[in-house]
Chain A
Amino acid sequence: MKRLLNVHEAPIIIFTIAVFLLFSVISPDFFQLDNIKLILDQNISMFIVAIGMTMVILLGGMDLSVGSVLAVTATSVGLFLGQGIHPWIAALMGIGIGVLCGMVNGYFIAVRKIPDIIVTLATMYIFRGIAVGISGGTWMTNFPEGFRFFGQGQLLGISFPLLIAVVLIAVFVYLLKFTRSGRKIYAIGGNGSAAKLAGISAAKSKFMVYVLTGLLVGIASVIFASKVGSVQASTAGNSLSFEVMAAVLIGGGSIFGGVGTVAGTMLGVLFMGIIKNGLIISKVSPFWVDATTGFLIILAIVINTLQRIRQNKGKEGDLI
C-alpha cells in the first residue's frame, strides 16, 4: 500500500477516482458506458496537445500559443479542403503548418533567448490574428466526406482518433523514458547548469520540443476540425492552452521543470474532462465551467508547491 502511495501519480489517481464517484452519486446519467466514451471522445485533441505541453513544462517553459496554433492549422486545413485538395494531403499540409508555427516559437525561444512566456504570449495573438485573417472571419464548414474519417472514422473496430492518440502517447512515453533526447529534456529541466556542463545543448532540445509541440497540435487540429465539422477561427481552441497547462500541472508536472510524466498528464486531462462533463451533466450553469478551470489551475499550483515543500524538507534549510 505504501509503495502504491509513493507512485508519482498517486494524488491525481485518487482525485480522479474521487470526482468520478462524486459525479456518479450526483447524477445517474454520469456512470454510463456511452458517457465515458463521450468524455474520451471529446478530449482527444486535448490528450494529444497535452503530450507536447508536458515536454514544454518539463523544460521549465510554458506554451500559451497552442490554442492559436490549433486555430491557424484547422483554418488552413479548411481552406485547403475548400480548394478541393485531397483530404489526406490537406491534413498533412495542415500538420506542416503546425510544425512551422512550432519553429517560429522555437526560433525566438531557443535561438533569440527571449523568455517562453513572452514569446508565446505574442505568438498567441499573432497566430490568432493570422487565423482570422485567412479565414476572412467566416465559419469553415462543408468538409468533404473523406475528411470525416480523421475525427469520426473507425479502424479495426476502434475509433480512428482514439487509435492515433494511443499510438502517440505510447511513442512519447517511450521517447521520454528510454531515449537519449528524452532524458536530455529531463536533465535540462531538472538542473540546467548541470546539463550544460554535461555537454547537453539546451537550445537544441528546446527548439526540438517546440517543433514537436507544433507537430502534435497540428495532428490535434486535424482531428478537431474533422470531429466538430466546422471551425471558427476566432474561437477555436480559445482556452485550450490554459486547460492543457492545468492538466499537466494537475498530473504531477512541476512548473519549475524536470518533474512530470506523460502518463500523469493524461490522467490530468481525464480529470479535467470528467469535471467538465460532470458539471454539465449535473445541470450546473455552463458559466461555472470556465470559473472551475481557473480554480483548478490555482489548485494545481497549490498542490505543486506543497509537493515541492514536502520533497525539499530535510534536504535544505528553510530559506525564510
Chain B
Amino acid sequence: MSAWLSGFSLKSNKLLVQLVLLLFILVLFSILSPYFLSVANFMNVLNQMVEVGLIAIPMTMIIISGAMDLSVGSILAFSAVSMGVAYQQGVNIWVSVGIGLLAGLLCGAVNGYLIARHRMQAIVVTIGMLVMLRGLVYVINEGRPISGFPDAFYFLGQQYIGGIPFNAIFLVAMFLLASFVMKKTRFSTYVYGIGNNEEVVRYSGISVVRVRFILFMLSGLFSAIAGVFLVSRLASAEATSGTNIELDVITATLIGGTHIFGGRGSLAGTFVGLLIIVFLRNGLNLLGVSVLYQAVILGALLLLAAGNKKFNGE
C-alpha cells in the first residue's frame, strides 16, 4: 500500500510539472499574441492535433514496451495516398478508406513480423520502412496530390458537432478507450512487463512475440486512421503528408513522462504532452515563426524531456 502511495505521489508530482508547463505556454502566448486566447483558435488547435494525437496512443504503448516506431509518418502518407489512388480508380469512398486502413495495417504487420517474430532492432527496421514507404508513396502516385473527394467524406475532418470538431471528439474517445485498456486489462500488464523485464515475461509463459506484434499492428492502424483524418481535413492526399510527424509524436510522448527505456509511462501524461506540443506549435504559428525554427524548438524540448529527471520520474 505504501509503495502504491509513494508511486502515486511521484506520478502526480510529474503530472503537476507538465501541467505547469502547459499553463506557462498558454499564459505566455496569450500575452504575446492577441489571437491566441479565443474559442475559435482553441477549436482550431483541437482540430489540428488529431493526427499527432492518434499516433501518440500506440507510440506510448510501444515506448513503454521498450521499442520505438519511426515509420509512422511514412505509414500515414502511404495509407493516405493508397486511399486516394483507390478512390481515383472509381472505388466507393468508404471502401477506399477501408483500403487505406488495410494498407496501414499491412505496414504495421511487416514491422511487427520483422521486429517481434525475428527479434530485429526496432529502430533500424522502422527507419528502413520510413525510407522505403516514403519512396513507394512517390512511386505509386509520382508525387501528384489527389483531391476531389465527395462532401460526405469531409465530415470526418471538418465537421463541428456542438461547436467541437468531430475528429477531436473521436480522438478523446480513443484516448479514453486506450487509457482503459492500459489500466484495466491483462494486455497492459504484459506491455509494462515487457518494458521492465522481457525475459521474465517470456518465462511466465506469455507470448512476447504476440504482444509486440499487436503493438506494431496497432501503430500501423492508428497511423492509417490519422492519414484518413488528415486527408479529410486538408481535402487532399499528398506524398509529403506526415513528414517529420514522428518528432511531434515522440516529443509529446516523452514530455508526457513515458520513460525512454520503457516500463513506465501513461496515456494521461501523453495527452498533456500532446496539448503542450500543439499549443506550442499553434502559438509559434500565430507569432509567425517558421516551421523549421519550430522544429529546432521541438528538438530542444525533446532533449530536455529525455534528459530531465523530473519528467522521467527518477
Q: Interface on A for B, CB 8 Å cutoff?
A: 62, 108, 112, 114-115, 117-119, 121-126, 128-130, 132-133, 234, 239, 242, 245-246, 249, 255-256, 285, 287-298, 300-302, 304-305, 319-320
Q: How far is the CA of A124 from the CA of B293 in the complex (A)?
A: 13
**B302 A118 Cβ-Cβ under 8 A:** yes
With A121-B250, A125-B299 known to touch, is A293 a contact of B135 (CB < 8 Å)?
yes
Contact residue among B132, B138, B293, B303 (Cβ-Cβ distance under 8 Å from A295): B132
Q: How far is the CA of A296 from the CA of B125 in the complex (A)?
A: 11
With A112-B307, A249-B124, A301-B124 known to touch, is A287 a contact of B119 (CB < 8 Å)?
no
B236-247: contact bitstring with A at CB < 8 Å (1 yes, 0 no)?
000000001011
Q: How far is the CA of A129 from the CA of B302 in the complex (A)?
A: 15
Chain A residues lying within 8 Å of B197, measured Cβ to Cβ, are none
**B296 A125 Cβ-Cβ under 8 A:** yes
Contact residue among A126, A288, A319 (Cβ-Cβ distance under 8 Å from B295): A126
Contact residue among A114, A128, A132, A293 (Cβ-Cβ distance under 8 Å from B306): A114
Chain A residues lying within 8 Å of B118, measured Cβ to Cβ, are 302, 305
**B121 A301 Cβ-Cβ under 8 A:** yes
B210-258 residues with Cβ-Cβ distance < 8 A to A are 244, 246-247, 250, 254
Q: Assess whether B93 is interfacial by the CB under 8 Å rule.
A: no
Q: Assess whether B1 is interfacial by the CB under 8 Å rule.
A: no
**A242 B127 Cβ-Cβ under 8 A:** yes
**B293 A288 Cβ-Cβ under 8 A:** no
> By the criterion of a CB under 8 Å from any partner CB, how many residues of chain B are at the interface?
46
Shortest distance between the CB of A174 and any CB in chain B (Å): 29
Q: Assess whether B133 is interfacial by the CB under 8 Å rule.
A: yes
Chain A residues lying within 8 Å of B293, measured Cβ to Cβ, are 129, 133
Q: How far is the CA of A302 from the CA of B119 in the complex (A)?
A: 10
With A129-B292, A297-B127 known to touch, is A122 a contact of B300 (CB < 8 Å)?
yes
Q: How far is the CA of A295 from the CA of B114 in the complex (A)?
A: 13
Shortest distance between the CB of B310 and any CB in chain A (Å): 14
Residue contacts A-B, CB under 8 angstroms, 19 given: A118-B302, A121-B302, A122-B302, A123-B299, A125-B296, A132-B290, A132-B292, A242-B130, A245-B127, A290-B132, A291-B136, A293-B132, A294-B132, A294-B134, A301-B125, A302-B114, A302-B118, A305-B120, A320-B209
Q: How far is the CA of A114 from the CA of B295 in the complex (A)?
A: 19
B268-314 residues with Cβ-Cβ distance < 8 A to A are 290, 292-296, 298-300, 302-303, 306-307
Q: Assess whether B61 is interfacial by the CB under 8 Å rule.
A: no
With A112-B307, A114-B306, A132-B292 known to touch, is A294 a contact of B129 (CB < 8 Å)?
yes
Shortest distance between the CB of A278 and any CB in chain B (Å): 16
Q: How far is the CA of A115 from the CA of B121 in the complex (A)?
A: 15
Q: How far is the CA of A114 from the CA of B125 in the complex (A)?
A: 21
**B132 A255 Cβ-Cβ under 8 A:** no
Q: How far is the CA of A290 from the CA of B250 in the complex (A)?
A: 24
**B307 A124 Cβ-Cβ under 8 A:** no
Chain A residues lying within 8 Å of B183, measured Cβ to Cβ, are none
Contact residue among A124, A239, A246, A287 (Cβ-Cβ distance under 8 Å from B142): A287
Q: How far is the CA of A255 from the CA of B132 in the complex (A)?
A: 19
B142 nearest CB neighbor, chain A only? A287
